[in-house]
Amino acid sequence: MILVIYSDNQFQQTITQCLSEHAFLHDVVSNYQSAMSLLSAQHYSLVIVQSHADQSCLSRIRSLVSNNPDCWVMSVEGRVDADIPMPADEADYFEAGVDDYLQGPFNERVFIARIRSHMRRSMPSVDNGTALNAGDDSIEIGPLKVDHRYHSVTLGGHTLSLTAREFALLDYFCRHPNQVFSRNQLLTAVWGYNHEGYEHTVNTHINRLRNKLDNVSVPLNGGQLVQTVWGVGYKLNVEGFVGKALSA
């Protein structure tokens, strides 16, 4: 189920018509107050928000992400007007917490491809399209546990509050412990697309995930879990972390 938050009536109609034509179930509201009421009563796997290119919009997105960590958020820029200055850019929206950003002018084919990519990853299946079985309900690596049934992560007994994208990133790392991935590889595997110039998307989400993990892992003498391999990418440092944590 998709929730659309868009105040521009004409472009709101463009988005909802596009979703309907491709058989995606959705609700639509024109303001965040109405959106919060719906989000409190029903689970949405994806929330599509309008890019207003101003700080008030970024503030509302931060609140949305903070209050709904299990929802993936896509920000969509409808039109591009070269005569209007842009006080907020794509990087600002990623830093505010969105998982995806679609830059204008609106491209229906790209929009639907991104929606389908998300929906594939929101289903209870992972890695190569295989369904989870009883043995795949959770992954445990030393004191780290990723539970897919409850979409939860615990580290040394501490429950971590992760966004949907952060959870997907950590889950992917846990399925490939100690393997190094480039930013483009992570974009393809976790975001579902690979576009040159989007590497900062990975950097932003990795940094937020790493900060949350480090707040627990470092005091446990476990060291840093997600490590940077300079010139290559990132990896889940299972050997170093587990060894230190279990001996602490």
Same domain, residue pair 160 and 90:
no
Does residue 74 have a pLDDT over 80? Answer: yes
pLDDT of res. 209: 92
Same domain, residue pair 9 and 112:
yes
Same domain, residue pair 134 and 92:
no
How many structural domains are present in the chain?
Answer: 2
Look-up: residue for tokens 């018509």?
17
Same domain, residue pair 138 and 56:
no
Measured between alpha carbons, how far is 27 from 37 in angstroms, rounded to an integer? 12
Same domain, residue pair 131 and 46:
no
By residue range, what is the domain housing residue 206?
127-247
Does this model's pTM top 0.75? My answer is no
Does residue 11 have a pLDDT over 60? Answer: yes
The angle subtended at Cα 83 by Cα 82 and Cα 86, nearest 5°, is: 70
Mean confidence (pLDDT) of the chain: 78
Contact between 92 and 58 under an 8 Å Cβ cutoff? The reply is yes
Q: Where are the beta strands (DSSP E) in 125-203?
A: 125-126, 130-131, 138-141, 144-147, 152-155, 158-160
pLDDT of res. 247: 45
Same domain, residue pair 195 and 118:
no
Same domain, residue pair 167 and 67:
no
N-to-C CA span, the chain: 45
Last residue of a domain, one of 73, 102, 122: 122
pLDDT of res. 206: 92
pLDDT tens, position by position, 137-177: 788 887 888 988 778 899 888 888 888 888 889 998 988 88
pLDDT tens, position by position, 213-241: 888 876 665 567 898 998 889 999 877 55
**Residue 224 belongs to domain with CATH number:** 1.10.10.10
pLDDT of res. 96: 86
Does residue 134 have a pLDDT over 70? Answer: no
**One-letter amino acid of 35:** A
Work out the average pLDDT over 54-73: 83
Residues in a beta bridge with 153: 146, 160
